């Protein structure tokens, strides 16, 4: 009987502690402004993107997309007080004028005035000397199967001595592709030109971040991985190597660390990471993003996947290309620019460097 009374008492206590929440609501009404722009010593134009962070709504899919900020007065101010106005090319997307170029040793900041009177500014940052690539090469690694054949890439940055240096590296690949040309029309109809060689530029949004801690004056290696040998068309790898400030490096490092969270209970709690922009007229206005200033070196490496390949490996590739329909032989086209099924299709040529 005593045990029964204890059980009933415990059940009563548990039930009495239960509270039904009827007014639970979740919403995200963030009015934060997101800004991103950059300037370097390489010819422009440079761009600045502006948008609001929209409120989250499960009933409106457009709320996931930031609302562009239009009709803003966007200017670059240098250390001498000279201002350069940007123009709005499309909604929320602003470009510097033709001929404007950053100078090594000069400092710059971004100033934005919105229609509601708010002013957003970054801190001054100086364009440092452009970094030097010590090496940027490739080799061929043979294998029994085409799927395992690779082109290892090798690259490193030549780091100067006796200085504290930080680097931000963007990578963009340009991959050539071929299409099958249709059968020619019967004579006397003229045969149209078959422009079957085009380029595509797959997206790559993750930067490489390096610093010379304990390695000052040595070559800093970039882990670029390997390219597959699944076709004999050209493949171009472009590196944009920036020499940036410690502040900029810390900002991108925090973003990268947050992206890599595994979801474990001991991971850092995700949070908004603030950059180097503030609203000077309204301190309560939240501003996210970054205005990056740095010396820039751009270089392209063309990987020739045709010449210098062992004959046996090339013969395996010919069979592989035909068997896997790499040429899209079931949907021939006269013009590869019309191949909408090819993602990130650039057309016949690469953008200028």
The helix/strand/coil state of 270 is coil
pLDDT score at 44: 87
CA distance 173 to 236: 6
Give, as one character, the DSSP assignment of residue 256. Answer: H
CA distance 301 to 342: 23
The sign of the dihedral angle between the CA atoms of 203, 134, 301, 291 is positive
Check: CB of residue 232 under 8 Å from CB of residue 306.
Answer: yes
Q: Do β-strands 287-293 and 33-39 pair in parallel, antiparallel, or remain unpaired?
A: parallel
pLDDT score at 17: 46
Check: CB of residue 32 under 8 Å from CB of residue 288.
Answer: yes
CA distance 144 to 66: 49
Q: Do β-strands 219-222 and 83-85 pair in parallel, antiparallel, or remain unpaired?
A: unpaired
CA distance 40 to 37: 11
Closest CA to 50 of 89, 99, 107, 100: 89
pLDDT score at 8: 45
pLDDT score at 54: 65
Vertex 285: Cα angle to 34 and 51 (nearest 5): 25
Mean pLDDT of the chain: 85
Bridge partner residues of 167 (DSSP): 210, 243
pLDDT score at 5: 47
CA distance 177 to 150: 18
CA distance 38 to 164: 21
pLDDT score at 273: 80
Q: Give pLDDT < 50 ranges for the chain.
A: 1-8, 10-29, 56, 58, 61-63, 266, 269
Q: Report the share of the chain in percent with pLDDT over 90.
A: 64
Check: CB of residue 32 under 8 Å from CB of residue 53.
Answer: yes
pLDDT in tens, 213-269: 888 888 999 999 999 998 889 999 999 999 999 999 999 998 888 777 655 554 554
CA distance 341 to 38: 33
User: Which residues lie below 8 Å from residue 88, measured CB to CB, with a gap of 6+?
Assistant: 70, 71, 72, 74, 94
pLDDT score at 18: 43
pLDDT score at 240: 96
pLDDT score at 66: 73
pLDDT score at 177: 92
């Amino acid at each position: 009987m005593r045990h029964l009374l204890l059980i009933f008492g415990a059940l009563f206590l548990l039930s009495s502690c239960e509270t039904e929440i009827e007014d639970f609501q979740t919403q995200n009404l963030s009015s934060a402004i997101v800004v991103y722009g950059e300037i370097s010593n390489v010819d422009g134009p440079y761009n600045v993107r502006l948008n609001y962070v929209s409120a989250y709504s499960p009933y409106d899919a457009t709320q996931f997309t930031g609302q562009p900020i239009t009709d803003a007065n966007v200017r670059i101010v240098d250390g001498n007080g000279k201002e350069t106005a940007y123009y709005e090319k499309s909604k929320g997307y602003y470009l510097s004028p033709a001929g404007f170029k950053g100078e090594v040793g000069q400092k710059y900041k971004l100033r934005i005035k919105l229609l509601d009177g708010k002013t957003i500014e970054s801190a001054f940052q100086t364009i440092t000397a452009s970094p030097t690539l010590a090496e940027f090469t490739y080799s061929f690694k043979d294998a029994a199967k085409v799927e395992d054949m690779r082109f290892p890439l090798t690259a490193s940055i030549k780091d100067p001595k006796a200085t504290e240096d930080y680097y931000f590296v963007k990578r963009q690949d340009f991959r050539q592709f071929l299409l099958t040309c249709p059968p020619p029309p019967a004579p006397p109809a003229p045969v149209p030109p078959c422009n079957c060689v085009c380029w595509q530029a797959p997206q790559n949004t993750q930067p490489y971040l390096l610093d010379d801690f304990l390695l000052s004056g040595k070559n800093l290696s970039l882990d670029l991985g390997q390219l597959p040998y699944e076709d004999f068309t050209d493949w171009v790898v472009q590196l944009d190597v920036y020499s940036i400030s410690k502040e900029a490096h810390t900002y991108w490092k925090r973003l990268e660390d947050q992206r890599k969270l595994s979801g474990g209970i001991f991971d850092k709690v995700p949070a908004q990471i603030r950059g180097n922009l503030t609203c000077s007229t309204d301190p309560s206005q939240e501003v996210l993003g970054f205005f990056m200033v740095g010396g820039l070196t751009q270089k392209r490496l063309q990987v020739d996947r045709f010449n210098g390949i062992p004959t046996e490996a090339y013969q395996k590739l010919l069979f592989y290309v035909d068997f896997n329909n790499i040429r899209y032989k079931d949907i021939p086209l006269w013009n590869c620019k019309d191949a909408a099924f090819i993602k990130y299709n650039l057309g016949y040529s690469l953008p200028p460097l």
